[in-house]
Amino acid sequence: MTLNTLWEALHLVADEEPQLACIVVPKNPLRRYHPEGIEWTYGEVAVLVQNLIDKYARKGWGRAHRIALLIDNRPEFMLHFLALNALGAWVIPINPEYQKDDLLSLIGHSEPDLIVTLSDQYEMIFQVVGNLHALKILVAKFEQFEDSLENPKRKFRFGQPTNDDEAVLLYTSGTTGIPKGCLIGNDYLFFAAQRYIQAGGLMKVRMREERLYNPLPLFYANSLVISNPAMIMSRNAMIIPDRFHPNSWWKEIVETRATIVHYLGIIPPLLLSRPVVSEEINHSVRFGVGAGIDLIQKDQFEARFSFPLIEVWGMSEVGITTATQFRDEVSGRRTIGRPLDGVELKIIDDHGNTMSDCSPGELVLRRVGNNPRHGLFRCYYKDEQGTLAAWQGGWFHTGDLVQREIDGSYTFIDRKKHIVRRSGQNIPAVEVEACLMTHPSVIQVAVIAAPDELRQEEVLACVITNENVEKNKLLAAELVSFTLERLAYFKAPGWVLFVDSLPTTPTQKLQKVKIFEIGEDPRLRDGIFDLRQMKNETSKLARKKL
């Protein structure tokens, strides 16, 4: 049977085995939605989704409409996603931590026909849409969805959605600029699911027996277009917490009977730092899937909690493409394992020449077969040149430096991209720089990554100011506050260093690699200001809203 959409895949399970668990939310009395938790079967989810399909369709929403969702990490996100997938509409996920400047950029670029938002975000969205008066954007309140949903301003495209139709417009970090709109089709959802399910080895996924606990948000690729499709295609359950909570992690793992967990590099050390609790040895977890863990902490984690952590490599553009499926792949180096079925990897130098084993170069990849792009992302939306550059020579250029070992596994070395990776968030330096440059005291700024033992990397802003301002902690805090008002909290600088000049080439291009000496820890530079606590307080306030 040929399936065209993820909705058809879920509906098939609902028809044949409606009693299987599909969507699970753990209990949390402090959460403002579903405080008692939920467990919906495939049959129940199918009914809920069909109800949404009918509501959208009655108003005239359908194929090729662009609909943005700003509804936190609620299970209803998946319901709306599946309903829109059934109708052939594009879903545009929005990070609920985005502030006005973030939203202006994303909404102005994606030009959605409709935004479905929580009521407490409505005022900000309404202001943003008002500033984009040239666009005909409608806004519906999630809590009063049926009453606030209007008829679309343009007609939908005729016909039923196909496997070749677009499904998601996902904004992801570009290699040198602001986030790009990564256009993903239905074929991507199936290919990503297929690789996940068929990985094998330590990552063997059983049909009808898994319950995946994933604290990573639905507005990013990991959950929405990779692991959740894999759970649906393997007739398994998706456990959707609101976010990662170290204090209640094991309690939720046991209560939801999770068999698989996903993690980021920040999660294992936080769990290792917690006191021993009975649930940590009474769970049913078979393995964890993630990236960025320290090798020493990996050994400590596996010894204490009794299940393997499988390091993977992937990007929003291509999904997960490598995994450490076997224990002998971990040997004191940062391995990302071997290629999963259906993808072909190659390491090249700056001239496109293939590198020999044990020699670092850029990782490029493609789909095995006649169509190297089938099942991977379609394009960068409204960026033909960026798409052509990414697919130069028929291979997708990842921008990551990797080397292939003699045993056929791959070792991650570094990134060529100008991004800061903080707690799994890819933060384009240019986006933070552009924001800070609008502050009246700032003449020039360079944003780079500072090492961080907990979050992998933290945002460091090296700032040249006007001569008539005092370069002190008060000004540093003002710059951080200025950024927090305009961008998501995780993008704000955690460190601020005032400098008199920044290194440039003879053609006046900034040389970030020369700001600090090779091997120098920038956090130890005299005069640097630590503003991480200020960011943390903002993060805590955001969490209280949930």
pLDDT > 70 in the chain, percent? 95
Higher pLDDT among residues 407 and 416, named by residue: 407
pLDDT at 543 over 70: no
pTM metric for this prediction? 0.85
pLDDT at 60 over 90: yes
pLDDT of 162: 97
pLDDT at 424 over 90: no
Greatest mean pLDDT among 122-136, 203-217, 397-411, 494-508: 203-217
| Helix (H/G/I), strand (E/B), else coil: 73 | coil
pLDDT at 541 over 80: no
pLDDT of 401: 83
pLDDT of 174: 42
Express each pLDDT in 512-525 by its tens digit: 878 998 889 999 99
pLDDT of 103: 93
User: What is the rounded distance in angstroms from the CA atom of residue 140 to the CA atom of residue 55?
Assistant: 12
Kindly report the three-state secondary structure assignment for every residue of 302-334: HHHHCCCEEEEEEECCCEEEEECCCHHHCCCCC
User: What is the rounded distance in angstroms from the CA atom of residue 342 to the CA atom of residue 193?
Assistant: 12
Contact 265, 424 (CB under 8 A): yes
Express each pLDDT in 298-308 by its tens digit: 999 999 999 99
What domains are defined for the chain?
A: 340-417 (2.30.38.10), 419-544 (3.30.300.30)
Higher pLDDT among residues 15 and 296, named by residue: 15
Tokens encoding 498 = 């005032």
Cβ atoms within 10 Å, residue 515? 18
DSSP 510: B
pLDDT (average), residues 9-29: 98
User: What is the rounded distance in angstroms from the CA atom of residue 42 to the CA atom of residue 78?
Assistant: 12
pLDDT band at 176 (very low <50, low <70, confident <90, very high): very low
Express each pLDDT in 61-111 by its tens digit: 999 999 999 999 999 999 999 999 999 999 999 999 899 998 999 999 999
Q: Nearest CA to 53 among 10, 96, 106?
A: 10
pLDDT at 540 over 70: no
pLDDT (average), residues 200-228: 96
DSSP 406: T
pLDDT of 293: 83
Contact 439, 481 (CB under 8 A): no
User: What is the rounded distance in angstroms from the CA atom of residue 147 to the CA atom of residue 403?
Assistant: 55
pLDDT (average), residues 232-236: 98
pLDDT of 518: 81
Contact 464, 504 (CB under 8 A): no
pLDDT at 417 over 70: no
Average pLDDT of every residue of the chain: 92
User: What is the rounded distance in angstroms from the CA atom of residue 120 to the CA atom of residue 177?
Assistant: 30
* 476-509: burial string, b at 16+ Cβ within 10 Å, e else: beebbebbbebbbbbbbbbbbbbbeebeeeeeee
pLDDT at 443 over 60: yes
Greatest mean pLDDT among 128-137, 227-236, 429-438: 227-236
pLDDT of 412: 84
pLDDT of 507: 47
DSSP string, 3-24: --SHHHHHHHHHHH-TTSEEEE
pLDDT at 508 over 80: no
pLDDT of 175: 37
Express each pLDDT in 178-196 by its tens digit: 678 999 999 999 999 999 9
Helix axes 75-87, 42-58, angle to 10 degrees: 60
Express each pLDDT in 124-165 by its tens digit: 999 999 988 778 899 999 999 999 999 999 999 999 999 999
Contact 474, 510 (CB under 8 A): no
pLDDT of 318: 97
pLDDT band at 544 (very low <50, low <70, confident <90, very high): low
- Give every CB contact of residue 354 below 8 A, 6+ residues apart in sequence: 346, 347, 348
pLDDT of 1: 74
User: What is the rounded distance in angstroms from the CA atom of residue 77 to the CA atom of residue 73?
Assistant: 7
| Helix (H/G/I), strand (E/B), else coil: 451 | strand
Contact 459, 494 (CB under 8 A): yes
Q: Of 158-172, 243-257, 428-442, 495-509, which range is least confident? A: 495-509
Express each pLDDT in 34-46 by its tens digit: 999 999 999 999 9
| Helix (H/G/I), strand (E/B), else coil: 56 | helix
pLDDT band at 421 (very low <50, low <70, confident <90, very high): confident
